[in-house]
Structure formats: C-alpha cells, structure tokens
Amino acid sequence: MEPAVSLRGLTKRFGEKVAVAAIDLDVPAGSFFGLVGPNGAGKSTTLKMATGLLRPDAGGAWIDGTDVWADPIGTKSRIGVLPEDLRLFERLTGAELLAYNGLLRGMDPDTVAVRSEELLLVLGLTEARDKLVVDYSHGMRKKVALACALVHAPRVLFLDEPFEAIDPVSVRSIQDVLRRHTAGGGTIVFSSHVMDVVERLCDMVAVVNEGSIVAVGPTSTIRAGRRLEDAFVDLVGASVSADGRLTWLGPDELRHDLRPPVAGEHGS
Amino acid sequence: MTALFARLKLRLLLNGIGSDRQRSLLFFAACGFGLFMAMAGFVSLLSARFDPARGDNVVVVLFSGLFAGWAIVPLLGFGVDETLDVTRLSLLPIPRRRLVRGLFVASLIGIAPVCTALAISGAIPGFATTAWATVVTVAAIALELTLCVLVSRAMTTLLSSLLRSRRGKDLSTVLLVLIAVTIAVSMQFAREPLLAISELRDSPLIDAMAWTPPGALGTAIAAARDGAVKMPIAALATAALTSLGLVLVWAVALGHMAVRADAGTEGTRAGSKGLFPLGLTWLPRNRVGAVAAKEARYLWRDPRQRANLLILVVFGLAFALFPAVAGGIENPDAVLFAAGTVWLLGIQGLNQFGYDGPAIWANVVAGGDPAHDLVGKNIVYAVFGLGIVLTAAVILAALTGAWELAPVAVLIAAGALGVAFAVGNVVSVLAPFPVGGLGDNAYGTKNSGQGCAIAFMSGAAVLCIGVLWLPIASIVMAGQTWWRPALGLAGLFAPLYGGLVWWAGWRLSSELVRRRLPEIVAALDLSAHG
C-alpha cells in the first residue's frame, strides 16, 4: 500500500547549520506515527517541510503519492496541521476561527457550522465558543487549533508537540479525538518529547537526532523491552553529567546576598 | 551599563545584517537612501551661508519637519526600532533611570538617527559664524536629535501602553482620537505666539513652526548667527524642558510596560453571530469572503489595528477638511479633497500580511489560492476607505454646496485606491514584514534595525503609486484649470483606469504569492529559524 507520507532526501540548512540532513521516511497509511527527538533535532523543521510551510533545500515530500511542492493545493486539502507555536488569528472567537478555517478550505458553510459545533463540544470548548482566542488558556488554544486542523476531515494529521504544556484533562480529550481519527482510517504524524505519551499512542516511531533519523520502526521494536525513554536516551546519547560541576549552586553560595547596589549608582 | 546597551544594540544590528542576504541588501539600500537624504538636508542647511534669508526658513522647516516625522512616521506602520525589547530586560535588576539612559543611547544607534544627525549638522557650516553662534548651533543640533529620538519613543511607548491597559479599552480609543486630532490639527494650524519677537517671514505655516520647540531651535540658530542672546537661550531651554517632559512620559510608560501583562479582552464577548460582521453579511461564503470578514473583525478587535483605523480616519478627514476650512469655503473644488483621504490607506496597503504575522501559516496550509486572500483584504480596505471618502465628500459638499462633485470625489478615490492596492499587493508579497505585537512596544519592529529598510522599500512603492496616479491627477487638474467637464470625465476615467491597474497588479501579485508562500511565512515569523 502506498505510504500516507513519504519523505525523500529532505534537507534544510540554516546558514552553516544543517537542521535536517537528507531524511528518508515512509509513514504507513492508518498509522499513529511518532517523531521523537531532543530539542533542536529537526522535528519541527521536518514537519514544516512536509506540510509546505518551509521550502526544503533538497529532497521532496509526498502525501498519498502527491508531491507537496509540485501540487500544493492538491496535497494541502488532504492534510491538517497543528503547529507547535500555536500562532492563531487570536482576535477571532473560537467559533469564528473554525468558520474561517473551513471557508478558507472552500468548504460548504453549513457543513463547517455543523462540524464546528461538534468539535467544540467534544473538545470541551462550547462554553468558550464566543470568547476571543487571545483569552484562551494554553490547553484551550491547543484544542481549538486541533479543531481547525480537523474541520475538513483530513486524511493525514501533522501535530507538532500536541501534548506539550497542557493539563491531563485536555490531554485526554485530545487523545480521544486522535484515536477516533485513526480508527476511521486517518494517519497521524506527531512530534513529541513526552515519551510515555508516544509509547502509549504510537504504533510506529522514528527517532530523530541532529537532523537525521537514527532509528525507525514499530514502537515495540524500538523499545526492545525497555521503556521508550531509556531507548531514546541510548539512541541520542546522554548529555554531560552535572556530577562534580556547578558547585556554586551549593548551599553556601546560595545564601549570599546578590542584590546589586542601587543607592548612589552611577551608570558607566 | 549605558555602554553595554549601546554595544548590545550594535551587535544586534550587525547580526541582523549578516543573517540574510535580502535583508543585508535592503539594509545597505536604506543606508544609501538615508545618506542621500542626509546629504540633501546637510547641503540645504549649508547653503544658508550664502543665502541667509532663505536659510532662516530652511532651518526652521527642517528642524520642525524632522521632529514631526519622528513623531508620526512610526505610528503610520513603519514602527520604531525595538531591537532592545524592554520586556526582555524586565527580569534584570536594572533601575529605571539606567534603563531609560541605556535605551536612549541605544536608540541613537541606527540608520535614521545617524542620518538625522548628519543632516542637521549642516547647520554648523551654514550658521556658525561666531563663537556664540557655534555654541548655540551645536547645542541646538544635540537637542534636536534628542527631541526626535525621544518623541518617537515616547509616542509609541505611550500609545502601546495605553492600548494595553485594562480600563484602557474605551479610554484609549478616546485618547487616541484626541492625540490624533491634536497632531492633525497642529500639523495644519500650529500657531502659538510664545515669544513676541517679530521676524519677517513669508509663510504663516513656517511662522507657526518657528514657535514649536524644534522649530524654535532652528530660529535660535539663525538668531544666534545674527547676534541675539536671549531668544536662543530661551529656545534651548524650552527644548531642554520638552526633552525632559518626553523622558518622563517615556519612563512612566516604560515602567508600566515592564510590569503589566497584556490586559486581555475578558468580558468583551464578541457577541457576534458568526465570522461575518454586520454590514458585511453580503460577502461571499468562500475564501475571499472569509479573509475579508476576518480583516474587518481585526480592524476593530486588534488594538493595534484599531489605533491605525482611528489615526487613518482622523488624519484622512483632517487632510480633506482642514484646507477647505482654512482656505475659506469659496472654492467648490474643495470637495475633491475628499478623494485625497485615501493616500494614507494606500500606504497601509503596502504590507497587507503584516498584521497576520506568524498566524499566516493557517492560510498557507489551507491550500486553495492565496491570491484570493489579497482580494479579500482589498475589498475590506476599499469599503472602509471609500466610507471615509464618502463622509468627507458629504461634509465638504454640505459646506460648499457643490454636491455634484461628491460622487466625482468618490469615483476618483475608488480609482486611486485601485492603483494603490495594485502596487500594495505586489509589495506586500515581495517584502512582507511583521507588524509588532502587543507583547512589547506595539509600534516596534524587532527586525534588528530594519525599520529604515522597510521605510525605504515603502518609499519606493509610494513613488510608484504617485507616478501611476498621474493620469488621474492630470485629468482632474485639467478640469480645475481650463475645461470644467474634464472633472466629470475624471470621475468616469478613474475607476476604469484604477480597475485596470488593480487587475494587472493583482495578476502579477497572484503569480508571485503562489510561488512565495514559504518565503512569506518565514518573513512574518521571525522566530521560525531560531
């Protein structure tokens, strides 16, 4: 079967730094695919290039066999995106934001209205539907952004850190919606560094480090009997230990008063 | 500490230049343009040496004009250079006095302040003929530069903190209108006989400028050359006091900004039934309509855009109405001034994606034709702009009785807007830049000293719009001077011509926007690449 998402030689440099180094990846249709890696590994950059938000320096991306960069309109109608930084049109209300996104995608206004209400209800946002998004909490913003990504029933969902910095109740309702999506045959690609969520949800995992994929396969194979977090640390390498360093964070030093002199101060 | 701020600013500026070829190019182009303007200012002041009578006027106009420019230009959307973001410094234990001093010195580093300093230093060779004149001239130059930098910082910081205050939602609206009205009126009528020194001058406007603190500095320079003592001292003292006042305003606003969070709009339930606001329910329920409806909502709900809207309305109406009122109502052609209210809107149209900022990704990822977004934006601004023109035209027609010219004014304005949007659409796609959020200075551009580069690009676009407006303008002028029916002809010609130019511009920008989506996202989301 054709993979839902396929990346070939995807590369991006920012100045001297190679953010993504010729990544090849196939995401099987209907899978719940986790992209894990340390901060700055290139996960978000990869997702941006796969969704047509960032032009790759080399390589390409295909959604259901359609070239993202050759046929942007065709591919974008099949995907939904939840970006990490949640830059939304926050002076719209939740309901207006959903209507806006639906109409942008050329949907029928009545369908948009029906689906919006249902999404708001399931995600627990009905109360807040007429509140400006700028006044939403972080978790509510994630949920309304997810609703926007889902309103056109995309076949592939790209989620960048969907569970970061949100409360367990919101995590639960988002997970329910995502499970519903994969159960219906949808594909989800999501990046995260919350390992236990990935372990619980994903049937496939790719570990990204320094712009390259260091391991990819079914979650159970990557884990190899350990916790995913341990497997992850083994794969990307542990950081420098603090043992014997940072002695100035000891109890003696922290007692010192470090207030700068204010009275009679002179600027240099 | 102050030196540290200066070094930090310089480092940020240099890092900004080095990071990206297009930005560096724009930066150097802006440097070239700034230097050219600076030299023009320098030479015009220098020439006072040989033509003192004219020089006296030049120095007054230049000094007050530069001050007005520094006060107003950032508000019109170019922003002040907020390379040093106050909110980032608020966690550091820096007393406010040091902060203000440091930020002030940092503000002196950049293209605009350096070019301003260069331009006005032409007064030294131009006027400093004696030791006393030299002392006054140098002091006046230093004070003028201080006034310019301080007024732009104080204005923008004050307005953005007003916009953020919790109570401020309604209060700030009123205050903004007041400030805008004051600026607009003082631009037209500033006449304040502070001193009873009589000078022979041709223009009452220059006369008026001479009484403003920056203008008085110009007068002081000329008076010191002529041997006067009291007047220059009074002018220098007034300017120093004004600077002090501006510092106080700025410091207080800065203090508020550092500790107050964005107030939020809790309680302002949109109370709306859907995306499409009242009065715009006729918009089509598609991408064009959705973008237009969103823009319309943002015009009022986004504090930054609401401020702009008010400034646009007030300036636009002031531009149209004051000449008519000031020049007496006998000239019925004054109704045509109503069409002139679109010029500010034309400038606003040069950065149509600016207010979208990083949220623009939603439009990109939605697929569909992004060229439709431009149409949606153009529709809203046209409806809004023509609304102002219509208002101005009706008022002027009521004053002059020349009702037959009111529709002509609106039609001419429609054509002029078409032209402006044609250029604006192309420039918006080629050189989009994010308009600062409210996290810090609402009028700040954190483009690492790119403010001038943006202004340069916009200046070129404005020039282009001006050239394209010539055919309409020449028919109007023909109608005013020798063949009256040409005015009617202009009313017919302008919309057709404007529509044609708009269509051509839209075709071009459509091609460009479809190809440049990732680049537009990158330009609007400065955090994208860390």
In tens, the pLDDT along A106-132 reads 899 999 999 999 999 988 899 988 888
Q: Do both B229 and B126 map to the same domain?
A: yes
B42 within domain boundaries = yes
Q: Do both B18 and B134 map to the same domain?
A: yes
Crossing angle of helices B486-515 and B405-430, rounded to 10°: 20
- How many Cα atoms are found within 13 Å in the side-chain-facing hemisphere of B83? 29
Supply φ then ψ for residue B148, to 5 degrees: -60, -50
Task: Tally helices (H) and strands (E) across chain A.
Answer: 10, 10
> Residue A103 and residue B274: Cβ atoms within 8 Å?
no
Q: Which of A18, A49, A55, A100 to mutate to test the interface with B (most CBs of B within 10 A)?
A: A100
d(CA B443, CA B437): 8
Q: With pLDDT > 70 as the criterion, what percentage of chain A qualifies?
A: 94
> Residue A135 and residue B266: Cβ atoms within 8 Å?
yes
B418 within domain boundaries = yes
Contacts of B143 (CB under 8 A, 6+ apart): B217, B236, B239, B240, B243
Q: Region B31-50: what's the mean pLDDT?
A: 88
Supply φ then ψ for residue B118, to 5 degrees: -60, -45
Least confident of B212-221, B259-268, B420-429, B489-498: B259-268
Q: Which of B275, B302, B353, B513 to mutate to test the interface with A (most CBs of A within 10 A)?
A: B275
Q: Do both B383 and B518 map to the same domain?
A: yes
d(CA B293, CA B276): 5
Provide the pairing of β-strand A5-14 with A212-218.
unpaired
- How many Cα atoms are found within 13 Å in the side-chain-facing hemisphere of B530? 11
How many residues belong to chain B? 530
**Which residue, B370, B350, B439, B447, is CA-closest to A53?**
B370
> Residue A89 and residue B368: Cβ atoms within 8 Å?
no
Check: CB of residue A214 under 8 Å from CB of residue A21: no
B253 within domain boundaries = yes
Which position has the higher pLDDT, B110 or B1?
A: B110
- How many Cα atoms are found within 13 Å in the side-chain-facing hemisphere of B445? 29
Task: Nearest chain A residue to B529 by CA: give it.
Answer: A14
- Flag whether pLDDT at B63 surpasses 70: yes
- Give the sheet arrangement for strand A32-36, strand by strand: A79-82, A156-160, A187-192, A32-36, A204-209, A212-218
d(CA B210, CA B225): 16
3-state secondary structure of A216: strand
The reply to whether B266 touches chain A by the CB within 8 Å rule is yes
Structure confidence by residue, pLDDT tens digits, B158-207: 776 666 554 444 555 566 666 666 666 655 554 333 233 234 445 666 77
Q: Do both B45 and B84 map to the same domain?
A: yes
Domain boundary among B243, B259, B275: B259
Q: Which of A100, A104, A148, A268 to mutate to test the interface with B (most CBs of B within 10 A)?
A: A104
Q: Region A195-213: what's the mean pLDDT?
A: 90
* Mean pLDDT comparison of B238-242, B304-308, B344-348, highest-scoring range: B238-242
Q: Which residues of A touch B529 (CB under 8 A)?
A: 14
> Residue A105 and residue B291: Cβ atoms within 8 Å?
no
- Quote the minimal CA–CA distance from B235 to chain A in Å: 29
Number of domains, chain B? 2
- Quote the minimal CA–CA distance from B281 to chain A in Å: 13
The reply to whether B366 touches chain A by the CB within 8 Å rule is yes
Q: Which among A40, A53, A268 has the least Cβ separation from residue B361?
A: A53
The reply to whether B92 touches chain A by the CB within 8 Å rule is no
Which position has the higher pLDDT, B448 or A187?
A: A187
d(CA A42, CA B415): 49
Least confident of A184-188, B274-278, B442-446: B442-446
pLDDT at B439: 42
Interface predicted TM-score (ipTM) over 0.85: no
The reply to whether B104 touches chain A by the CB within 8 Å rule is no
Q: Region B278-292: what's the mean pLDDT?
A: 89
The reply to whether B365 touches chain A by the CB within 8 Å rule is yes
Which position has the higher pLDDT, B404 or B138?
A: B138
Check: CB of residue A44 under 8 Å from CB of residue A164: no
When the pLDDT of each residue in chain B is averaged and rounded to a whole number, the result is: 79
- Quote the minimal CA–CA distance from A109 to chain B in Å: 7
3-state secondary structure of B182: helix
Task: Nearest chain B residue to A69 by CA: give it.
Answer: B515
Place of tokens 């260091």: A214
Helix (H) or strand (E) holding B171: helix B168-189
Q: Which two tokens stand for residue B376?
A: 């949606």
Structure confidence by residue, pLDDT tens digits, A210-245: 899 999 999 999 988 888 888 888 888 766 677 777
> Residue A89 and residue B522: Cβ atoms within 8 Å?
no
- In degrees, to the nearest 5, what angle opens at C-alpha B135 toward C-alphas B132 and B136? 90
The reply to whether B269 touches chain A by the CB within 8 Å rule is yes
Q: Region A151-168: what's the mean pLDDT?
A: 88
Q: Do both B246 and B342 map to the same domain?
A: no
Contacts of A198 (CB under 8 A, 6+ apart): A34, A36, A192, A205, A219, A228
Q: Do both B241 and B345 map to the same domain?
A: no
Check: CB of residue B52 under 8 Å from CB of residue B59: no
CB-count exposure of residue A22 (10 Å: 0-12, 13-18, 19+): middle
B450 within domain boundaries = yes
d(CA B64, CA B186): 12
pLDDT at A218: 93
d(CA B178, CA B314): 9
Fill in the DSSP letter of residue A243. T
Q: Region B302-321: what's the mean pLDDT?
A: 76
Q: Region B476-503: what's the mean pLDDT?
A: 88
Q: Which domain holds residue B329?
A: 287-524
B274 within domain boundaries = no
Q: Do both B124 and B78 map to the same domain?
A: yes
Q: CA A93: distance to chain centroid?
A: 23
- How many Cα atoms are found within 13 Å in the side-chain-facing hemisphere of B240? 9
Provide the pairing of β-strand A204-209 with A212-218.
antiparallel
What band does B452 get if pLDDT is binned at 50, 70 and 90? low
Indicate the residue type of B362: A
Structure confidence by residue, pLDDT tens digits, B89-144: 767 777 878 888 888 888 888 888 999 999 999 999 999 889 999 999 999 999 99
Task: Nearest chain A residue to B263 by CA: give it.
Answer: A135
**Which residue, B321, B286, B279, is CA-closest to B300?**
B279
Among positive and negative, which fits the CA dihedral A48, A51, A57, A61?
Answer: positive
What band does A263 get if pLDDT is binned at 50, 70 and 90? low
Q: Which two tokens stand for residue A227?
A: 């916790």
CB-count exposure of residue B200 (10 Å: 0-12, 13-18, 19+): exposed
pLDDT at B260: 57
Which position has the higher pLDDT, A251 or B378?
A: B378
Place of tokens 């101060």: A265
What band does A265 get if pLDDT is binned at 50, 70 and 90? very low
Domain boundary among B259, B279, B298: B259
d(CA B422, CA B501): 6
Q: Do both B327 and B230 map to the same domain?
A: no
d(CA B104, CA B87): 16
> Residue A77 and residue B367: Cβ atoms within 8 Å?
yes
pLDDT at B495: 92
Q: How far is CA B429 from CA A37, A53, B226, B432, B511, in A?
A: 35, 16, 53, 6, 10
Check: CB of residue B396 under 8 Å from CB of residue B321: yes
Q: Which residues of B touch A90 (CB under 8 A)?
A: 359
Q: Do both B166 and B26 map to the same domain?
A: yes
Structure confidence by residue, pLDDT tens digits, B407-449: 888 999 999 999 999 999 998 898 887 775 444 445 555 444 4
Domain boundary among B259, B276, B296: B259
- Quote the minimal CA–CA distance from A27 to chain B in Å: 20
d(CA A232, CA A197): 13
How many residues belong to chain A? 268
B271 within domain boundaries = no
Least confident of A4-13, A223-232, B273-282: B273-282
Domains of chain A: 5-78+154-254 (3.40.50.300)
Q: Region B64-71: what's the mean pLDDT?
A: 85
Which position has the higher pLDDT, B180 or A102?
A: A102
Q: Which residues of A touch B369 (CB under 8 A)?
A: 73
d(CA B504, CA B418): 10
What band does B9 get if pLDDT is binned at 50, 70 and 90? confident
Q: Do both B132 and B91 map to the same domain?
A: yes
Q: Do both B255 and B298 map to the same domain?
A: no
Q: Do both B353 and B452 map to the same domain?
A: yes
Q: How far is CA B518 from CA B211, B288, B364, B521, in A?
A: 51, 21, 8, 5
Place of tokens 């052609």: B333
B267 within domain boundaries = no
What band does B484 get if pLDDT is binned at 50, 70 and 90? confident
Task: Tally helices (H) and strands (E) across chain B.
Answer: 21, 2
Cβ-based contacts under 8 A for chains A and B: 130
Among positive and negative, which fits the CA dihedral B129, B134, B138, B143?
Answer: negative
Check: CB of residue B306 under 8 Å from CB of residue B296: no
Q: Region B68-78: what's the mean pLDDT?
A: 71
**3-state secondary structure labels for all residues of B448-478:** CCCHHHHHHHHHHHHHHHHHHHHHHHHHHHH
> Residue A54 and residue B357: Cβ atoms within 8 Å?
no
Least confident of A63-72, B164-173, B189-198, B279-288: B189-198
CB-count exposure of residue A96 (10 Å: 0-12, 13-18, 19+): buried
d(CA B524, CA B527): 9
Q: Region A11-34: what's the mean pLDDT?
A: 91
What band does B480 get if pLDDT is binned at 50, 70 and 90? confident
Q: Which among B291, B301, B522 has the least Cβ separation from residue A91?
A: B301
B21 within domain boundaries = yes
Contacts of A245 (CB under 8 A, 6+ apart): none
d(CA A82, CA B113): 42
